[in-house]
Amino acid sequence: YLSGFGSEFSSEDPRKPGALPEGQNSPQRCPYGLYAEQLSGTAFTAPRHENKRSWLYRCKSRWLPFDIPSSPVDFVGGLHTVCGAGDPRSRHGIAIHVFLCNESMKNSAFYNSDGDFLIVPQQGFLKITTEFGMMQVAPNEIAVVQQGMRFTVSVDGPTRTHRSERSGQPKRLPDAGFKIINKYQGTLFVAEQGHSPFDVVAWHGNYVPYKYDLGKFMVINAVLYDHCAKEGGFLPGGASLHSMMTPHGPDD
């Protein structure tokens, strides 16, 4: 059981100490040969304070990678749809594809009327020629080709690439700035800035936030402190508390 609503949690099998990576989410080699997987409850376009995700480290991968074909296949012919949601006809949806190719597109171009492409190479380099110019995209880089833009893809060998397709509003990065909320005369005002407000390196003074442990506070008529214990309690006629000018009764 982990307490704390809306907090960050972590858990680890006690039989595999150190299975949870420290200081990183998706290392190149996870401990014990585990597979890193991110479970996302929100779109990557959601504001960061609304981002819901968890990293899971599994013994086995969700599925095996697609094999690169031995026969000639280009960018369009090697498309495999893995999953999706919504419907491009309603202009609201998403699809995840994997494509594998080993030859360049020849005398042909492609464009997507359903949405934008987010292209993430895993293996091999892509040379994407668009109406706006050329992009060379390598692993650890991403490229976005938006709706209606014609392009062709050239490769220099076997290539495996992941591709996200989103219908509707164009892709955008989440807001990386800070939102400063001020309560003034009973009304909330919002200002945005592009850096963290917690950038103080040193300070001195006496106007500071503070905390206090209420467990150390003795309320009126309490016997938490400064009151000797009686092993057998007080006998009849005795009293643990007495008002001013009222004598204490016998203790034995």
Residue 46 shares a structural domain with residue 93:
no
Active-site pick, 49, 92, 204, 227 = 227
d(CA 34, CA 29): 8
Residue 52 shares a structural domain with residue 88:
no
Q: Classify residue 198: in a domain, yes or no.
A: no
Q: Classify residue 231: in a domain, yes or no.
A: no
Cβ-based neighbours of 29, under 8 Å, separated by 6 or more: none
**159 CB-contact burial (10 Å; exposed 0-12 / middle 13-18 / buried 19+):** buried
Please give the pLDDT value at position 29: 87
- Last-in-domain residue among 143, 167, 191: 167
- Last-in-domain residue among 167, 197, 230: 167
Q: Classify residue 242: in a domain, yes or no.
A: no
d(CA 192, CA 174): 14
Q: Classify residue 20: in a domain, yes or no.
A: yes
Q: Which residue has the tokens 């989440």?
A: 174
Q: Classify residue 185: in a domain, yes or no.
A: no
Q: Is 248 a catalytic residue?
A: no
Q: Classify residue 245: in a domain, yes or no.
A: no
**75 CB-contact burial (10 Å; exposed 0-12 / middle 13-18 / buried 19+):** buried
Please give the pLDDT value at position 165: 80
Please give the pLDDT value at position 99: 87
Residue 57 shares a structural domain with residue 87:
no
Read off the pLDDT of residues 125-149 as tens digits, 9 standing for 90 and up.
999 999 999 999 999 898 999 888 8
Residues pairing with 83 in the sheet:
96
- Residue 81 has phi, psi (to 5 degrees) of -85, 125
Q: Classify residue 199: in a domain, yes or no.
A: no
Please give the pLDDT value at position 157: 87
SS3 122: strand
Integer-rounded Cα Rg, in Å, for the chain is 32
Read off the pLDDT of residues 178-213 as tens digits, 9 standing for 90 and up.
788 888 888 888 888 777 777 666 666 666 677 777
CA 49 to mean position of chain CA atoms: 9
Residue 83 shares a structural domain with residue 55:
no
Nearest to 40, CA basis, from 48, 51, 26, 25 = 51
Q: What is the CATH number of the domain that holds 83?
A: 2.60.120.10
pTM above 0.75, yes or no: no
Please give the pLDDT value at position 228: 58
- Residues in the chain predicted with pLDDT less than 50, given as ranges, are 1
Could you tell me the residue range of the domain that residue 21 belongs to?
8-62
d(CA 11, CA 23): 15
Read off the pLDDT of residues 61-71 as tens digits, 9 standing for 90 and up.
666 778 888 88
Cα dist from 233 to 29, 191, 237, whole Å: 65, 62, 12
Q: Classify residue 220: in a domain, yes or no.
A: no
Q: How many independent structural domains does the chain possess? A: 2
